[in-house]
Structure formats: C-alpha cells, structure tokens
Structure 1
Amino acid sequence: MMLPTCSVPHNEIQPFHILNGLQELAQTRNFKAWFLDQFGVLHDGKQPYPGTISTLENLAKSGAKMVIISNSSRRSSTTMEKMKSLGFDPSLFVGAITSGELTHQNLQRRDDAWFAALGRSCIHMTWSDRGAISLEGLELQVVENVEEAEFILAHGTEALGHPSGAASPKKLEELENILERCAAKSIPMVVANPDFVTVEARALRLMPGSLAAKYKELGGEVKWMGKPDEMIYKSAMAMAGVDASDSIAVGDSLHHDIKGANEAGIQSVFITGGIHATELGLGSFGDIADLSLVQALASKYDAYPSYVLPAFCW
C-alpha cells in the first residue's frame, strides 16, 4: 500500500511499500522530480556507494529531474564540486540546494524579518579538519567575546572562527561552554546544518544540529536551516519546476529527510543502510532491514516513508 501525497497523520504506524530497487518505482509512478540526499544515500563522504552512479544514469534516462537537497553547511556550488570529485556527473542534476546555501542567502539578503533583526557580529562555530566555512560577502563581524556577539552562526562542530577568517580547533565541551554563556545572554543561533550526525566511511560524525539541540535545551532560540523544514523542499520544487504531487524525496534520516518530506506533503524513499543502520541491526551494505524494526523506528521519529529500500540501487 502506498501513502497518499498529502501530509502524513502523526502518531500512528503507516504502511509502506518495500522495494528491491528503484526501477519499478521509476517506471510505474513516473515522478517528474527526485530530491536526493547525498551523505548516506549517494556516497559516504569518501566514495560513491556501489551501483549509485548507474542508478542515477537510469533515472536520468527515464526523464526525471534530480536535485540534491542536503543539510551540508557548505554552499551549493561546493557540494556540486564535491560530487564531481567523487566521480558523479554534475550534468545529471538540475542543481543542488543545501542548508548552507539557504543560510548564506538569508544572511546576505536579510529580506526576512527574523534575519533582518540579527545584527552583524557573531560567534562562528565551524570546521577544522574539513576546512573552515567562508563568510565572504556577508558583511559579518566575527567576534570571540560572547559579550560582543549578537548571534551564533553554527556551520561546524570542530572549531571557533576568528576575525581573521582563520579557525582554532575546539573540543565539543569547549563549544558547549560557549553556548552556555551565549544562552545566558539570550542571543539567537542560526544552525547551517540541522543534522545531528552524518555517515562518513561507515562511521557516524557529529554535526551542528547536535550543538543546536544543546542550545535549545539551554533555553536558546534556534533558527534551523534545511531539512526537516519544508523551506528546502519548496526551494527544490521551484528549481525543478514541479509541485508536490510530482515529487519524491530519497534520504537515510527519518528525522530529517523523511519527516521533512512528510511536512512538505511529498512521497519519500527511506534508505535503511545510512545513519540508522546500527539501530536497524544492519552490518553490511545492502543488508535487508527487519520490517518490524523499521516500523518501530518510524514511530519513534514520527516520520513515515512511502517506500523502504536497503540502498540507492536500480
């Protein structure tokens, strides 16, 4: 049984269709647009998953428009460059929309009342090993003293940005201590990557959403950019020139990808071999998840996929 294309009722187990591959779905439903998560679906941050590239090529041959929607804190152009470096053909995609891109655009334009009220001085939490995020063009003043900050900008979980544009590595506990001081000052946070964790070479890596969740616990105000907020799905629909009924999202995070698709009123494919693999008792790529465990996990996260698939394969 397939879910309707409207918003999904909460707090009840929803039926979903188990797939062996995407071929049947692509040929029978003929969705005009596919919104694809990247980490945990297309690649693990280091290399594409087996069969992913050929699956993309087959979807493209079917006439589907494909858009990458990612909670990456980096801009869309950087995401496409990363995809190309991993062996993906950028011409297969209409484009990419990232939470980092949405963050950059809103900080730059400031045509939204919430962003217009932010001020210009910020504490910048960013990456170290992965490379700091550039704030060029945003006319922001990065400060290190909480007393001078008007908001927190969370791009990463490894370092604290300096006014020079450089960044110094920080332990998670150190960043959380800064958050405690910011919460006491009641300054808002913009989180440019709402993910709690991501898949990286089969391991899980802590993402900025974890800092945002901590800040919320402390009583801080958080602006979540990206999935599961429907804003990123609406942007993807606009990019592909489609409406909700012609769209389907593919992702490995129930809380972000699938719940976001539910909120946006579009159907979804849950890839079980991503960040929930351990929770589902999966040891190897392509392992089939136990249906009852998937149902229990969907109820836990209040996120209900239309279809379930072990991996992004044809």
Structure 2
Amino acid sequence: MSDTSPTNGPHPQILLRFRDLAERYDGILCDIWGVVHNGVRAWPDACDALHRFREAGGRVVLITNAPRPSGPIRAMLDGLKVPHHAYDDIVSSGDLTHAMLAERAGRKAFHLGPERDLGVFEGIDMPLTGADDAELVVNTGLFDDTTETPEDYADMLAAFRARDVEMVCANPDVVVERGDELLYCAGALADAYEALGGRVLWAGKPHPPIYDEALARLATAAGRPVERGRVLAIGDSLRTDLAGAARSGVDALFIASGIHGSELIREDALDLPGLEASFRQADVWPRAVMSRLVW
C-alpha cells in the first residue's frame, strides 16, 4: 500500500468506490451503527469492502459507542450475519466505561439506562442504588428509547445536579439509527446534564481514550505499530466519528447515508451544498465522502 499523510480539508473527495482510496491506508477504525449495519440488518456491501481491505493486507478494528462491552457487541454482529472476516477486533464505549467504573469501585451508583447494558458493571464492586442515594450516575441511555425523550428526564437530572452527582456517560452518541428510526442515546442525556452545570465523564468517541485503545488493537492485529497517517476512520456522525478522527490525527471517510441521511441524501444522491454546509458548521472536514461503504 502506498504512502500517505492526513489530508482532511475543505474539499473532500467524493467517492463511488472505496477501492479508489483504500490503497492509501494500512488500518481502518470503522464505526458500526450506520456503516456496517442499521441496528436491524447488516449492509453486505460494507462487510465486503472491509473484507477486501483485509485481503489486501490491511487491518480493521470496529469502534463503537455502544454502552456494552465488546463481547456482547460481537454476539450481536453474529446475529446480524456480519462475517468475522470483515474485521480483526472490536473496541466499544462500554469497554472504556467498564475501566472508568473499575477506578471508582465501592461508590454507590444509579444505573440510568436499560437492563441490557448492565454488563458494564460486571466484575466491579459497585452497589447499585436508587437515584436519591447515588454517589455516581452511570448513564447508558434512556430506560425506553422507543417512547421517551430527554425531556422526560428533566426533573431527575435537576435533582442529580442539585447534589452535584458525577455522571459517567457510556455512549456519547445523541441519536442512533435503528431501522428507519432515529432513537435518543445516552449522549443526549449527558448534554442536558452538562447544560445544567453537571459534571460528566465521557467514554467513547470523539474522546481520545477510545482511539488510543483502538489504535493499540490495530497494532496488535498488524503485528506492528501503524502510523496514524496511514489510518482511516470511517463513520456517519459529524459529532463523534469526524470530530474524533480529527482529534486523533487520522483521516476520515464520511458515510452520508447514516444518521444524517435524511439531511444529506436527496433523491438517492449526495446533497453536495448540504454536505459542505454541515462540515463547515461542525468544523470537521473528512478526507472523502461516500453515500454507503462499497468496495
């Protein structure tokens, strides 16, 4: 694969085929929701593109803001028929959250989120308690993201703020794609808490620790360190994927059909002025843009 250096800038390349860019890189950090699948079904073309990149000698680490450890994420990918040959490893926001909680063992915690996310507490001495007695809020999302909105939590967040309770946000995403719907995530609640003046510790993208871990996993898969200038982050979120890539000094490929698809896809075509306006407003500039990941 030929040499390259980060070239994110105000004129991203519009791609029809990922193979036109792939040879520039030795490693990929690939988002999952919105790129590899939509929460209901996997995208075969995206899985094929990652597989072909690996066949050419590249390495792929899937990087996700899911608030569960990577083991359950792998099981979920198996259920969606995402082939193992499409990736080398997975690192999740849940992995980073588990490490944060281990450092705070012994504190009484209130779990703000659904029962399916309880795996972040596994093996940690952290008694779970009611909201009134909590010394720590572990925010993995809304209790019922199919019916609730962040406004439903206004009184609860205000009560935590009044006691200056620290919050760990296990998923910085504001929304996630599930089928044809966009559902609120933990990041929406954490944003609301910060707006009240609450203290929030963030796990996951766009914050550097998850990228440091993902790059370490990439080096393990490759059998050697991979220079950041030869790493490409692929994702569909301006706030997390593109901002995180920029902070970590790696190039980014933006997938426009994910959570921003309703804003940036018009009649099955990229809205180029809309893309430029969105990048300018967010002050993030990817190396390239695709509608969907296709080899």
Q: Return the TM-score normalized by structure 1.
A: 0.85
Structure 1 segments unaligned to the other structure (5+ residues) = 111-115, 160-168
The Cα of 1:106 is off from its aligned counterpart by 2.4
Q: For structure 1, which segment, 99-108 or 209-218, has the greater mean C-alpha deviation from structure 2 after superposition?
A: 99-108
Structure 2 segments unaligned to the other structure (5+ residues) = 220-225
The Cα of 1:175 is off from its aligned counterpart by 3.0
1:48 and 2:42 are equivalent in the alignment: yes
Aligned to 1:192: 170
Q: 2:149·2:184 contact (CA, 8 Å) conserved in 1? A: no
AA partner of residue 18 (structure 1) = I
Aligned to 1:22: 18
Q: 1:119·1:150 contact (CA, 8 Å) conserved in 2? A: no
For 1:1-314, what aligned pairs fall within 5 Å after superposition?
A: 5=6, 14-27=10-23, 29=24, 31-108=25-102, 110=103, 116=104, 120-127=107-114, 131-134=116-119, 135-146=121-132, 148-158=133-143, 172-241=150-219, 242-282=226-266, 287-314=268-295
Q: 1:233·1:264 contact (CA, 8 Å) conserved in 2? A: yes
Distance in 1 of aligned mates of 2:140 and 2:162: 21
Q: For structure 1, which segment, 189-198 or 287-296, has the greater mean C-alpha deviation from structure 2 after superposition?
A: 287-296
The Cα of 1:26 is off from its aligned counterpart by 1.4
Q: 1:281 to 1:93 in 2, by over 3 A?
A: closer
Percent identity of paired positions between Structure 1 and Structure 2: 30
Distance in 1 of aligned mates of 2:71 and 2:122: 14
Q: 2:65·2:173 contact (CA, 8 Å) conserved in 1? A: yes
The Cα of 1:37 is off from its aligned counterpart by 0.3
Q: What is the aligned-residue RMSD (CA, Å)?
A: 2.0
The Cα of 1:259 is off from its aligned counterpart by 0.7
Distance in 1 of aligned mates of 2:106 and 2:157: 18
AA partner of residue 192 (structure 1) = A
Q: 1:153·1:190 contact (CA, 8 Å) conserved in 2? A: yes
The Cα of 1:95 is off from its aligned counterpart by 0.8
AA partner of residue 5 (structure 1) = P
Runs of 4+ in 1 over 6 A off after TM superposition: none
Q: 1:195 to 1:126 in 2, by over 3 A?
A: same
Distance in 1 of aligned mates of 2:84 and 2:43: 17
Q: 1:170 to 1:310 in 2, by over 3 A?
A: closer
Q: 1:158·1:171 contact (CA, 8 Å) conserved in 2? A: no
Q: Give the number of equivalent residue pairs.
A: 283
The Cα of 1:71 is off from its aligned counterpart by 0.4
Q: 2:174·2:186 contact (CA, 8 Å) conserved in 1? A: yes
Distance in 2 of aligned mates of 1:145 and 1:223: 18
The Cα of 1:303 is off from its aligned counterpart by 1.5
Q: Return the TM-score normalized by structure 2.
A: 0.90
Distance in 2 of aligned mates of 1:40 and 1:171: 21
- SS of aligned partner of 2:262: coil
The Cα of 1:151 is off from its aligned counterpart by 1.2
Q: As a proportion of its length, which structure holds more helix?
A: 2
Deviations 1:159-213 (A, max 9, x none): 6xxxxxxxxx977544332111000111111000000001110210110000000
AA partner of residue 42 (structure 2) = P
Distance in 1 of aligned mates of 2:149 and 2:257: 29
Q: For structure 1, which segment, 268-277 or 80-89, has the greater mean C-alpha deviation from structure 2 after superposition?
A: 80-89
- SS of aligned partner of 1:257: helix
Q: 1:273·1:282 contact (CA, 8 Å) conserved in 2? A: no
